[in-house]
Amino acid sequence: MRAATVSRFGGPDAVEITEHPVPMPGPGQVRIKVAAAALNPVDAAMRSGVFGGEERIGLGWDVAGTVDAVGPGVTWSADDRVIALATGHHTPLGTHADYVVLDADTLAPAPTTLDDTHAATLPLNTTTAAQALRLLALVPGQSLLVTGAGGGVGAHTVELAHQQGLEVTGLASADYKEFLISRGADHFLARGQALAPAGFDGVLDAAGLGSDALAAVRDGGAYAGLWPGQEPRSERGIRVGALSVQADGALLTELSRLADQGVLLARVAQTYPLHAAVEAHARLAEGGLRGRIVLIP
């Protein structure tokens, strides 16, 4: 089978399409025939060496497809439509492949209202948003600032925070205002506007503003970043954390249900065939995408 991998770090041209044996599921595992797999900024970070590694690394964290084979002790059945999140920075094979083997408890039923291409955009970004909100531990009625609110994680955080009863302010480029208000933001700030000091109970800093975002949190509030090790130092009694996302099939099942209910909107910017992964990475590097690039085997 084919898989997108890197054996050296660099730009988009570091991505290779390599041949591998079709993996076999072990006890408690499932093999998925990949129908679609989103391309995320974390894949570009892996490709460029942010997370290091000395062996060939497989790319891809998101997957939508059908169950193809199961190992002992698994209740999933062949041809079940599923989505899943494959976490890990140094795995030999990721989801940008014809097949992927994952632990059965990381899978969730695919949303019935979405095709595989759109469903493939959900696992990483929605799981990250949901786990970041858990990390912040705000309660209904409290105020949340989401920086980078136009991006995949940011927009889903706005949607989930609204659904949880938080008062949400989205910070993004000015042309995202109408979109974010439609997705549940109570207030909008255009990128470049001054942030009111100590004005929010919590912030999800999807844009990586660091100390500037921290300054917008009230004394004793909460800050969550998305890149462990890059979060600002705590001050004024603010809880500071950075999320290391974890695959969670039960959580993803609930998020799939919310997608079917229209709470979560799947956004696809462009699709590329798997063999054009280099071109897909180049397009991601250009920026300006409204939604995810999705690779189709």
Q: Which domains does the chain have, with CATH numbers?
A: 2-122+266-296 (3.90.180.10), 125-242 (3.40.50.720)
Distance CA 76, CA 29 (A): 10
**Up-side HSE of residue 117: CA atoms within 13 Å toward CB?**
15
Distance CA 278, CA 273 (A): 10
pLDDT at 192: 87
Distance CA 65, CA 1 (A): 15
pLDDT at 63: 98
**Amino acid found at 140:** P
| Kind of pairing between the strands at 81-85 and 107-109 | antiparallel
pLDDT at 253: 98
**Amino acid found at 258:** L
Distance CA 284, CA 271 (A): 11
Query: SS3 for 2-68, per residue?
Result: EEEEECCCCCHHHCEEEECCCCCCCCCEEEEEEEEEEECHHHHHHHHCCCCCCCCEECCCEEEEEEE
Residue of 9, 44, 4, 12 whose CA lies nearest to 279: 12
Residue spans of the chain under pLDDT 50 = none
pTM summary value: 0.97
**Up-side HSE of residue 104: CA atoms within 13 Å toward CB?**
19
DSSP H or E run through 42: helix 41-48
pLDDT at 121: 98
User: Which residues are paired to 101 by β-bridges?
Assistant: 31
pLDDT at 194: 83
Q: To which residue do tokens 């912030």 refer?
A: 203
